[in-house]
Amino acid sequence: MAIPAPKPYIAAFEKLGFGMFVHWGLYSQLARGEWTYLLHKMDMKEYEKLKDSFTAEDFNADELVLTAKNAGCKYITLTTRHHEGFSLYDTKGLSDFDVMHSPCGRDLVREYVDACNRHGILPFFYHTTLDWHHPDFENDFDKYLEYLRKSVEILCTEYGKIGGLWFDGNWSRKGADWKENELYATIRRHQPEAMIINNTGLNARGEAGNPEIDSVTFEQDRPTPLNREGMKKYLAAEMCETINDHWGTGSLDFNSKSPATLIENLCLCRKVGANYLLNIGPLAQGAIDPYQKELLAVVGKWLNIFGEAIYEGKPYGAGSVNRNFILKGEGKLYIFFFNPGREGSENVTAGNSYLGAFAFGNVTDKVKRLYWMDNGEELSFAQKENMLMANFTGQPYGKSFCVRIATAEIEK
């Protein structure tokens, strides 16, 4: 069965490859995750008071966007409103639970979009669909959905062209009629080329939904390859992941991922053509967590060397041992080699890692030349039918790439 061609804006989204997720809201002031209202059984009257201390005085949209850009991210998805119900944008009188009614008094979404546009980063809006604060969510669901649509309409009309909308919360009422058609029609009216994404949650990863949806989601787990044969419309895929164990900042969360894990996860997303949306949780008043900023910078440094393979490479059916895999670009194959061997001395270079001859099956292109992408060192190889045997040298002492990529030039 045929695989449908992606719409141009969906193909463009896939090419972005790597995005930065940002979870920031009133909850950030408590620094114990974005679900603190519910999971710590707080009283809404008490919780609401966080609005009165929200100054956003440390929020610098340019710094946020440049953090993403420096990490090699091509887009950002910002929580314009999370489950707590507080909006980082001017709701134009729809609600007084927004930035304009807090000491902050600035439209932070405008600052964010303007900075994205200044620095060539595509802005996306995360928007909750469930709401712990708005009374209609419990009492008059249809009326609440109208409030939600009007809110989203503001986001689609006030800020120029946006990359897309990322909804989250429909999993909270599985059987309910969320009137998705109406919501998405509102978006299409104003932003025909916006990606529409609706998180299917931890229990339904990779599930397709309403026909207007443009990408499936994999929350906190490696994406599996999508079988697009016979699909009515080509869907992209995106995996979102926390940098530690919380989306919103957590001052006692010590379980941060290492740069190597982040790089590996980015690679494993691209292996199946999915985007990697990596989250950071800014601090109470919007400062970027310095440690998270630094982690992203390390990933950016790796992408400075190997980025071409990440952005240009498309899934390729070759098989191999370990986690090694191949992507295909223009006239090239990119061979991803995990945990590559290191050269050095037995007195200083410790640990097991791989080097030597490795076979890849299902390589249907004829390889002309093979070399490491970082230093151009030529690698010997042999090819027989669809089998490529490549001889990987160790990485020079002084470098440790965790994933190292070799470029294979192929016959046209």
Q: How far is the CB of 242 from ligand GLC (least distance, A)?
A: 8
Q: Is residue 168 part of the contact set for ligand GLC (CB under 6 A)?
A: yes
Shortest distance (Å) from residue 395 CB to ligand GLC: 35
Distance in angstroms (rounded) separating the CA atoms of residues 298 and 292? 10
Strands 164-168 and 122-128: parallel
Asked whether the beta carbons of 76 and 124 are under 8 A apart, the reply is: yes
Least distance to ligand GLC from the beta carbon of 166, Å? Answer: 8
Number of residues that bind ligand GLC (CB under 6 A): 9
31 versus 66: smaller Cβ distance to ligand GLC: 31
> Residues near 236 by Cβ (< 8 Å), separated by ≥ 6?
6, 10, 13, 14, 195, 214, 215, 216, 273, 274, 275
Residue 208's contacts (CB-CB under 8 Å, 6 or more residues apart) are: 216, 231, 235
Question: Closer CB to ligand GLC, residue 68 or residue 240?
Answer: 240
Identify the three-state secondary structure at position 197. Answer: strand
**Residue keyed to tokens 């992507």:** 327
The number of helix segments (H) and strand segments (E) in the chain equals: 10, 17
Closest approach, Cβ 82 to ligand GLC, in A, equals 6
**CB within 8 Å of 288: residues ≥ 6 apart:** 63, 64, 67, 280, 282
- Biggest alpha carbon–alpha carbon distance for the chain: 71
Of residues 107 and 241, the one with the C-beta less far from ligand GLC = 241
The contact pattern for ligand GLC, residues 201-220, with x = CB under 6 A and - = no contact, is x-----------------x-
Task: Find out whether 404 and 395 touch, Cβ atoms under 8 Å.
Answer: yes
Per-residue string for binding with ligand GLC, 27-66, x by CB under 6 A? -------xx-------------------------------
Q: Does 247 bind ligand GLC (CB under 6 A)?
A: yes
* Smallest distance, ligand GLC to C-beta of residue 201, A: 5
Q: Pick between residue 21 and residue 381 the one whose CB is nearest to ligand GLC.
A: 21
Q: Does 240 bind ligand GLC (CB under 6 A)?
A: yes
If 0-12 CB within 10 Å is exposed, 13-18 middle and 19+ buried, where does residue 175 land? exposed
| 79 versus 95: smaller Cβ distance to ligand GLC | 79
Q: How far is the CB of 249 from ligand GLC (least distance, A)?
A: 12
Per-residue binder mask for ligand GLC (CB under 6 A), 219-238, x = binder: x-------------------
Q: Does 98 bind ligand GLC (CB under 6 A)?
A: no
Q: Of residues 11-30, which lie at the interface with ligand GLC (CB under 6 A)?
A: 23
Pairing of β 275-280 and β 236-241 = parallel
Candidate residues 199, 249, 320, 339; the one interacting with ligand GLC per rule CB under 6 A: 199
Give the residue with the Cβ less far from ligand GLC, 88 or 405: 88
All residues at 6 or more sequence positions from 46 whose CB lies less than 8 Å from its CB, including other chains: none
Bridge partner residues of 21 (DSSP):
77, 279
Residue 84 binds ligand GLC (CB under 6 A): no
- In angstroms, the first-to-last Cα distance of the chain is 27
- The distance of closest approach from Cβ of residue 171 to ligand GLC in the complex, given in angstroms and rounded to an integer, is 7
Site residues for ligand GLC, window 277-306 (CB under 6 A)?
none
Which residues are at the interface with ligand GLC (CB under 6 A)? 23, 34-35, 168, 199, 201, 219, 240, 247
